[in-house]
Every structure is written in structure tokens, then in C-alpha cells.
Amino acid sequence: MFITNAWAAEEGAHQADIKLGADANSNGVTHSETGTPQGGDHGGAFPPFDTSTFASQLLWLAITFGLFFIIVSRVIVPRVSDILEVRRDRILRDLDEANRMKEESDAAIAAYEQELAQARNSAQNIGNTARDAAKTEAEAKRAAADSELNKKLVESENKIAAIRTKAMGEVGTIAKDTVSEIVKELVGSSVTSAEVSKAITLVSK
């Protein structure tokens, strides 16, 4: 209703200007189509501040704001929302990927530590087994060496005993021969073995 009245007032002012121009033409004065004399100053206020055009300005302001609001709400906002949604989805995917990679890394580290612990245990067991085997082998070799040494010692003692027995057995013969030679050299005549044995027996007593 306010816009209709303003438009009617503006239309009435325009018709009045046309009438004034027609009256001026009848008096021999030249006017422009808007009723303003040619060569004169343009009167009136700056159009945006002209109160007679406030209604149309408000109308076009409302229309422009409405169109701008429609464009923003129907075009710009959905596009921005889509961009933000895409960015949000991408960030969520990146976070999920980072979490997945972190979990895989943690699992790989745990598996590596477990394998390392198993390798250490295996190495320790192998070392213990090798040490025990070496110790057993060394003890066996030492026992074999001791046995061989004892065997050789017994054989040596037996040989010494045999040599001693043989030597002791030959002492009498050597003594008889020696006494016979000594008597022969001293007396000049030989003596019998029985006499030499009897003499050695008497000396031994």
C-alpha cells in the first residue's frame, strides 16, 4: 500500500511537470521533456536522498537483497558446505589412515621386539647347549687322557718291575762271575760255582 501511494505521487508529479512544460511552450519558452528549462541549473536533491524516490529505492533494495539472499542460500552456501564437507571427510580419512598406520607401526614394533626376545633366548639356549657340550666333551677327553695315562703308568711300572726282577735275577750270576774273576786274579787258580755260591751266601748272612 505504501509503495502504491508513493508511485501514484511520483506519477502525479511527472504529469504536473509535463503540464508546466506545455504551458511554457505556449508562452514561447523552450523547455526540456522533463519540464526543466534548457541552459538553466538542474534543481532538486541528489536522487538517492530524494524522499519522493524512497519507496522505489526500498523496493529495489528489497528485491536486490532478496535476490542476493537467494543466490547466497541456494548457490554459495551449498558450495561452501560441500567444500567444507569434502575437507572434513578428507581430514577424517587422513586421521583414520594415520591411526591405521600408527597401529600397524605399533604392531610391527611389538612383533620386532618379540622376535628379538625370541632370538636372544634362542642364542642364549644355543650358547648354553654349546657350553655344556664343550664341557662334556672336555671332561670326556680328560677322562680318556687320564685313563690312557694311567694305563701307560701301569705299563711303565710293570716294565720297571720286570727289569728290576730281571736285574735282581742276574745279580747272583754277575756276583758269582765277579767273585770268580777276583779269586782267580788273587789266588791264581779258579774256584767252582758251588764254592762261590757258598761264599756269597755266607757273606749275605
Tens digit of pLDDT per residue, the chain (205 long)? 444 445 455 555 555 555 555 454 444 444 444 444 444 444 556 666 777 778 888 899 999 999 999 999 999 999 999 999 999 999 999 999 999 999 999 999 999 999 999 999 999 899 899 989 998 988 888 888 888 888 888 888 888 888 877 776 666 666 667 767 776 676 666 666 666 666 666 655 5
- Selection from 181, 203, 200, 205 nearest residue 191 by Cα: 181
Structural domain of 191: 170-204
Structure confidence by residue, pLDDT tens digits, 126-155 = 989 998 999 898 888 888 888 888 888 888
Instruction: Tell me whether residue 60 is in a domain.
Output: yes
Instruction: Tell me whether residue 107 is in a domain.
Output: no
Q: Give the number of other CB atoms < 10 A from CB of residue 195.
A: 14
Q: What is the pTM of this model?
A: 0.35
Instruction: Tell me whether residue 43 is in a domain.
Output: no
Last residue in a domain, options 94, 119, 146: 94
Domain count within the chain: 2
Angle at 197 between CA 191 and CA 198, to 5 degrees: 95
